[in-house]
Amino acid sequence: MIIEDVLCPFCGCLCDDIKVEVEEGRIVGVKRACRLGSSKIRGHERIRAPMVRRDGELFETTYDEAYDRAARILKGAKRPLLYGWCSTVCETAKKGILLAEVVGGVIDSTATVCHGPSIIGIEEKGLSGSTLGQVKNRADLIIFWGANPVEAHPRHTMRYSSNSTGMFTPEGRRGRKVIVVDVRKTRTAKNADKFILIRPGTDYEVISALRMIVKGKGDLIPETVAGVDKADLEETAGMMKAAKFGSILFGLGMTHSRGRYKNVDNALSLVADLNGFTKFVVMAMRGHYNVAGFGQVCAWETGYPMAVDLSRGAPYFNPGETAACDLLGRRETDAMMVVAADPASNFPRETVEAMAEIPVIQVDPFPNPTTFLADVVIPTAVCGIEAEGTAYRMDGLSLRMKKVIDSGLPTDEEVVENILDRVRRLADDN
């Protein structure tokens, strides 16, 4: 049986045209997904059963015992950190936020090591954006800045950007110009009309120079800016202003290099400036398929999209103080719950070392390096394949993920709910 229009649970593209072939309750074929999505949908090694660590080793146990242990860890902690949420559906996030409220902890998502800086930039300047369909239907200029979709978002250029066709863009790639700005010539850059090589950590200066040129003050800037020729910048600014609909899509190259959120901040300002001359939008190329969704849920529930400290009962937001890496880097947190993420793989080393010193609860379908640090491991169904729920695409569009096969495992949402339930009962007992 072929199930149509399945949503891929991998990256921020949230492609929703995947065809999945199911036979006797197992996935036997996947069409249209890229290799990253296809690999996830077909499945790989799973955590077989709940586990708890005793004397340094993980032993299989029951869900009951795992919930119990997890609840005790969280209830006993003075500053628990509830982290992850990017590869699960919004329904899980809702329960997670409630759990964080009840245990008086800090909740944060993988945006903290991804597009958190973009959000901080938005708090300074706002974001002039659109849905991906606007880019597809109208954009005649696409600029990838610090982003390499060919490798990180493989179907993006075909579905939404460089190579897509739409109402006002029937010629597709031929009717567009593509510019890539990056610190090395990536595979995406090889398919661009123009490539600008910038030195690592100089995005901010280059953007300021572009803004000056766009605003007609180019004569005031020097002949080279951070190693980039002014002539190159002038040509780029010219292409931007000549576009009917330009777009800047930026990635971790911008958010993770020196300047971080200020780079994004300046890019947002550049796009706002460009709107004085022509139509321009900007978009963050979100990594995981539902990190945007966590941000939305967290914002409507707590007022803030990430890094929310609930320890005193009222939400407090201050990235740099309340983000996951902040807590771990300072060794402030005395317990951690990781849901649908793998911090051991992605976090700076000192923070992973901090994780090793505290009790860690992992809720995930798949074993990963975080499993080695976990004291309680709870396997769950894979959202978007074995469980339904809501996810938000990189442009903020929400869609419903399908369930195509059964797993017999609890969902992330059910697990968090069960732990919450135990925590409440422990509180009542006191």
Partner 1 sequence: MIIEGGIVYDPINGVLGEEMDVSIEDGRVVEESRDGEKIDARGMLVLPGGVDAHAHIAGAKVNTGRIMRPEDGRRGTEARTKLLRPSTGYTVPNCYAIGYRYARLGYTTAFEAATPILEARHTHEELEEIPIVDKGALTLFGNNWEVLECVRDGDLDKLAAFLAWGLRASRGYGVKVVNPGGGEAWGYGGNVKGIDDPVPNFDVTAREIIRYLMRANEALRLPHSVHLHTNNLGKPGNYETTLATLRAVEDIASSRDRQVLHVTHMQFSAYGGTGWRDFESKAPEIADYFNRHEQFTMDMGQLIFGSATTMTADAPLEYGNARLLKAKWSNHDIELEESSGVVPLVYGRKNPINAIQWAIGLELALLTEDPWQMIMTTDHPNGGPFVNYPEVVALLMSRAKREEELATLHDLASKRSSLPSIEREMDWNDIAIVTRAGPARILGLAEKGHLGVGADGDVSIYDINPEKVDPSKEHEEVKAALAGAKYAIKGGEVVVRDGEVVAVPQGRTYWVDASVPEDAAARVKADLVEKFAKYYSIQMSNYMVQDAYVTRPRVIRAGVI
Partner 2 sequence: MKKVIIKPLREFWVPVEAERISPDVFAPLSIEEIRRLEIWEGNRKVTLSDLFMISGDDEPAPPGDNEIVLSGDFSRVKRIGEKMTSGTIVIKGDVGMHAGNGMSGGEILIDGNAGDWLGREMRGGKITVSGDAGEYVGAGYRGESCGMRGGEILVEGSVGDYLGEHLCGGTITVGGDAGDFPGIANRGGAIVIGGNAHLPGAEMASGTITVRGRARVLPSFQRLETVEIDGIRFDKFLGDLVDDGKGELFAASVEDGGR
Nearest-approach distance from CB 83 to partner 2, in angstroms: 16
Give the strand pairing for 376-378 and 51-54: antiparallel
CB 403 within 8 A of CB 3: no
Cα dihedral 201→203→208→213 (10° resolution):
130
Stretch 155-184 residues interacting with partner 1 (CB under 8 A)? 159-160, 165-168
Give the shortest CB-276-to-partner 1 separation in angstroms: 7
CB 174 within 8 A of CB 306: no
Counting contacts by CB under 8 A, is residue 413 touching partner 1? no
Query: Whose CA is closest to 250, among 296, 306, 293, 204?
Result: 204
The entry of partner 2, partner 1, none that residue 1 binds, CB within 5 to 8 Å by partner kind:
none
Helix spans in 43-107 (H): 63-75, 90-103
Q: Which of 67, 195, 250, 317 binds partner 1 (CB under 8 A)?
A: 317
Type of residue numbered 387: A
User: Which residues does residue 11 pair with via DSSP β-bridges, in sequence order?
Assistant: 288
Separation CA 391–CA 290 (nearest Å)? 5
Nearer to partner 1, 209 or 297 (CB): 297
Least gap, CB of 155 to partner 2 (angstroms): 34
- Answer with the entry of partner 2, partner 1, none that 101 interacts with (C-beta below 5 to 8 A by kind): partner 1
State the minimum distance, in angstroms, from the CB of residue 97 to partner 1.
9
Residue 166 interacting entry, from partner 1, partner 2, none, C-beta within 5 to 8 Å by type = partner 1
Does 310 interact with partner 1 (rule: CB under 8 A)? yes
- Is 124 a binding residue for partner 1 by CB under 8 A? The answer is yes
Which one of the spans 22-30, 50-58, 132-140, 217-225 is the region binding partner 1 (CB under 8 A)? 132-140
Q: Which does 160 bind (CB under 5 to 8 A by kind): partner 2, partner 1, none?
A: partner 1
346 binds, among partner 2, partner 1, none (CB under 5 to 8 A by kind): none
Residue 38 interacting partner from partner 2, partner 1, none (CB closer than 5 to 8 Å by kind) = none
DSSP state at residue 290: T
Asked if 288 and 12 touch (Cβ cutoff 8 Å), the reply is yes
When binding is defined by CB under 8 A, the residue of 126, 201, 227, 320 that contacts partner 1 is 126
Which amino acid type is present at position 16? D
Helix (H) or strand (E) holding 167: none
- Does position 281 bind partner 1 by CB under 8 A? yes
Q: How far is CA 244 from the centre of its chain?
A: 30
CA 366/CA 406 separation, integer angstroms? 16
Subset of residues 381 to 410 that bind partner 1, contact rule: CB under 8 A: 388, 390, 392, 396-400
Number of Cβ atoms within 10 Å of the Cβ of 183: 15
Closest to partner 2 by CB, 251 vs 319, is 319
Strands 51-54, 57-60: parallel, antiparallel or unpaired by DSSP? antiparallel
Say whether residue 122 binds partner 1 (CB under 8 A): yes
CA distance 352 to 323: 14
414, amino acid identity: E
> Which partner from the list partner 1, partner 2, none does 226 bind, CB cut-off 5 to 8 Å by kind?
partner 2
Q: Smallest distance from the beta carbon of 141 to partner 2, in angstroms?
A: 21
Give the separation between CA 110 and CA 27, rounded to whole angstroms: 29
State which residue, 47 or 97, has the beta carbon closest to partner 1. Answer: 97
Let me know if 78 is exposed, middle or buried by CB neighbors in 10 A (0-12, 13-18, 19+): exposed
Coil, strand or helix at 27:
strand
Q: Contact positions toward partner 2, by CB under 8 A?
A: 77-80, 103-105, 120, 123-124, 204-205, 208-209, 211-212, 215, 217, 220-222, 225-227, 258-259, 262, 266, 269, 311-312, 317-321, 330-334
Q: Binding to partner 1 by residue 5, rule CB under 8 A? A: yes
One residue of 158, 239, 272, 405 binding partner 1 per CB under 8 A = 272
For tokens 């950590």, the residue is: 201
Apex 36 CA angle, 35 and 42, nearest 5: 80
Q: What's the token pair of residue 295?
A: 């941000």
Among partner 1, partner 2, none, partner that 321 touches (CB below 5 to 8 angstroms by kind): partner 2
The candidate with the shortest Cα–Cα distance to 382, out of 89, 153, 29, is 89
- Among 63, 65, 133, 426, the residue binding partner 1 under the rule CB under 8 A is 133
Eight-class DSSP state of 249: E
- Judged by the rule CB under 8 A, the positions of this chain that interact with partner 1 are 4-5, 7, 16-17, 90, 94, 98, 101, 119, 122-134, 136-138, 159-160, 165-168, 244-245, 272, 275-276, 278-279, 281, 295-297, 299-305, 310, 312-317, 388, 390, 392, 396-400
